[in-house]
Every structure is written in structure tokens, then in C-alpha cells.
Structure 1
């Protein structure tokens, strides 16, 4: 895990890979809970029997937005940004899903610092987020996550 204490330390990673999270297993229970929370009960996610016999992947798959929603959790395994008053999830851009995440797959997040700007005391950080699927050549997705940080003075 990378420890970042201030803007200058963060800036030193610009254009570089920051790191990777631990592997995270996405099982049917997690998929079902996400479906319940988002009211998205499409059978390809929640009906293992139908997905196995009629689905294109012969298995249920995680919701794409479930995999995106893991970013804050997995990001905290990559970087510990300290000495901040507040961190805000500001946006996501340019996400492309390249591969479905089958139930019981393990995934991890790789993070690269694309850019960092000091906007009069508010630090805007753009992280290129890539979700890797264990034993799969193509990533689940690649896209940009934008955080705003308010460092302590």
C-alpha cells in the first residue's frame, strides 16, 4: 500500500502505476445483494439455473455497476491518502466494459495516476482504474475515476 501525505507526494506518482488491490471474490450472494439494492434483478445476474442453461456465459455474471461500485473499497487497499479533511468521489469517465465477470471470479483493481491538479487548495485527481479478472487476459473494464481531496493546511 502506498501512503500519501500531501499534494507533492501524490504528484510524484503522476503518469505512473500506483498499485493493485488484493483479490476480491464476487460470489452469488454479493450479486444478489447488489440486485436487491439497485432493483436490477435481470436473470443473467440472479437466476443461476436459467443463466447456466440459457445464458451466453453458462453462468450468472456480476452487474457492471457492481464491479464499478467496488472501486472505493479496492482503492483503499492501494493508497492511504492521509492528512485530509475530506475526500469526494467526483466522477467517473470513459468506462468501457471489456469482459463480463462470471460468478465466483476473483477481481482486483489496478490504479494509475493520470493527472493531478491543485485547484486553489482542492486537489483533483484522475485515476485510470482497470479491473483485472483472475486467469483472464482481458480486463473487466478500464476507465477514469475522479477524486477531490481537501488536504489539511
Structure 2
């Protein structure tokens, strides 16, 4: 059995199972402001705390949905030392193939803490590699609704 076939079998056995819960990450206004500057999305609801306190339905600024999305590698610890070797034995390369469904059910406010829950949704052969679909749920500490729910598609190759 090839390394890709072994990896496929490993992930198919875990289908539907939560495989990881990340560490909490505090989202502060400085991070929101830096993201706004980097992306050019300077809408007041993100960067003007005084106006947001008066006019926003959330009574504060909120993080960009795409900020939450951009934090997926950090929140899932996908690139932490040793994670590649642990999660993809026998593979030499991982490619972010994209996202399927992405939703932002609840706003993220400055002071919120986020963490990622990772569930294996599917795994299939993709040429000589393996395509894995993760269901990522980004939890907001103390909130019933998640900040983000996304299907991430990655491909790994021997």
C-alpha cells in the first residue's frame, strides 16, 4: 500500500470525528486595525470604536469576517512545529486547495477569545495524493454561535 493510500485509510477511519481543538486566541482592536490597514477595508464598524458604540447593532467594533478566516492556520495550529509530520505521515507537501462553504454566524468583538475545532469531513484520492476536507468551527468563548464555520480543502502529496 502506498503512503497516500495509507494516509487515505487513516483519515477515512476518522470521518465525522473531531480531531483537534486549538488554543484560545484573544482578538483585540489592534489586530482588527492592522487587518483593516493591510486589506484596505477601513469601514467604521471595524475601526471606529466611538461610532460603533453609538451606531452599530453590536455596540462595539467587530472584526472582519475575513480576519477570522485568515487566522485559520494559527487557530488550527496547522503550521506549528511537528504538525505536518504528525498529521500527514509519509507526505512531503501540503497544498491549501480552497474553501467550500464559509459562514460567519456571529460577530467577533474586541476582547473575544476564539479557538478552532477541527473535524474530518471527508478524504479521497486526488491523483497521486489525498484530498482532505476539514470542517472548521471557530468558537467564541461564552457564545452559543460560532464566529465562523468553513469547509477547508487541502491536498497532500507523497
Per the TM superposition, whether the score is higher than 0.5 is yes
Equivalent positions of 1:20-39 (< 5 A) are 20-39=21-40
Distance in 2 of aligned mates of 1:113 and 1:66: 23
Partner Cα separation in structure 2 for residue 22 and residue 51 of structure 1:
29
- 1:2-81 maps to which residues of 2 (within 5 A)? 6-76=7-77, 80-81=83-84
Structure ranking higher in strand proportion: 1
| In structure 1, C-alpha distance between the alignment counterparts of 2:50 and 2:7, rounded to whole Å | 51
Instruction: Indicate the RMSD between aligned Cα atoms, in angstroms.
Output: 1.9
What's the TM-score, normalizing by structure 1? 0.88
In structure 2, the residue corresponding to 1:72 is in which secondary structure? helix
Q: Counterparts of 1:90-129 in structure 2 under 5 Å?
A: 90-129=97-136
**For structure 2, which runs of at least 5 residues remain unmatched after alignment?**
1-5
The structure with the greater share of residues assigned to helix is: 2
TM-score by length of 2: 0.86
Describe the SS at the equivalent of 1:34.
helix
- Residue aligning to 2:3: none
| Distance in structure 1 (CA, Å) of the matches to 2:127 and 2:101 | 26
SS at 1:84 equivalent: coil
Distance 2:97 2:127 in 1: 16
1:76, CA displacement in angstroms?
2.0
Query: Which structure 1 residue ranges, 5 or more long, are not aligned?
Result: none
Aligned length, in residue pairs: 147
